[in-house]
């Protein structure tokens, strides 16, 4: 990510009052954080984001009987950009109300952990 994009993101965060992610050794308050997506016809759903270095295959979600895919894991307080990979296609979280532009001309979903 370019220095300019990082500066823009920091400026937006400051205006919104978004807490910055802390280094693991500085923060002991890990919050169990759930991500979910309704995709009844999907065969596979993964999540990629800041928390897993955008690895598109390291975090798979599990579907319930209604087709809602879920995953939970611990995150330190801060802001996390992410996207879902549904049957190989990248998409944003339709249940998320916060998005940020990414360097690829699209947007990422934004999760704020307090």
Q: What is the pLDDT along the chain (114 residues), one digit of tens a residue?
A: 555 666 666 766 666 666 655 444 454 689 999 999 999 999 999 999 999 999 999 999 999 999 999 999 999 999 999 999 999 999 999 999 999 999 999 999 999 999
Per-residue pLDDT, 24: 44
Q: Which sequence spans correspond to the domains of the chain?
A: 3-113
Per-residue pLDDT, 94: 94
CA distances from 79 to 19, 63, 76, 83, 112 (A): 7, 26, 9, 14, 5
3-state DSSP helix/strand/coil % of the chain, to nearest 5:
15, 40, 45
pTM of the model: 0.75
The yes or no reply on domain 3-113 and CATH 2.60.40.10 is yes
Which of 17, 75, 69, 81 shows the shortest CA–CA distance to 43? 69
Per-residue pLDDT, 48: 98
Torsion angles phi and psi, residue 113, rounded to 5: -105, 125
Which contacts of 88-92 are long-range, i.e. CB under 8 A and separated by 24 or more positions?
A: 88/44, 90/56
Per-residue pLDDT, 15: 63
Per-residue pLDDT, 23: 44
Per-residue pLDDT, 12: 64
Q: Any idea what the Cα angle at residue 36 is, between residues 32 and 25, rounded to 5°?
A: 25
Burial of 49 (0-12, 13-18, 19+ CB in 10 A): buried
């Amino acid at each position: 990510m370019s220095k300019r994009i990082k500066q823009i993101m920091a400026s937006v965060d400051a205006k919104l009052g978004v807490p910055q992610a802390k280094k693991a050794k500085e923060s002991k308050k890990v919050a169990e954080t759930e991500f979910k997506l309704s995709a009844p016809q999907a065969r596979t759903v993964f999540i990629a984001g800041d928390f897993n270095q955008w690895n598109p295959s390291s975090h798979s979600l599990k579907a319930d009987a209604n087709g809602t895919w879920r995953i939970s894991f611990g995150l330190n307080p801060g802001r996390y950009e992410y996207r879902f990979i549904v049957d190989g296609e990248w998409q944003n979280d339709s249940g998320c109300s916060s998005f940020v532009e990414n360097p690829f001309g699209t947007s990422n979903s934004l999760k704020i952990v307090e």
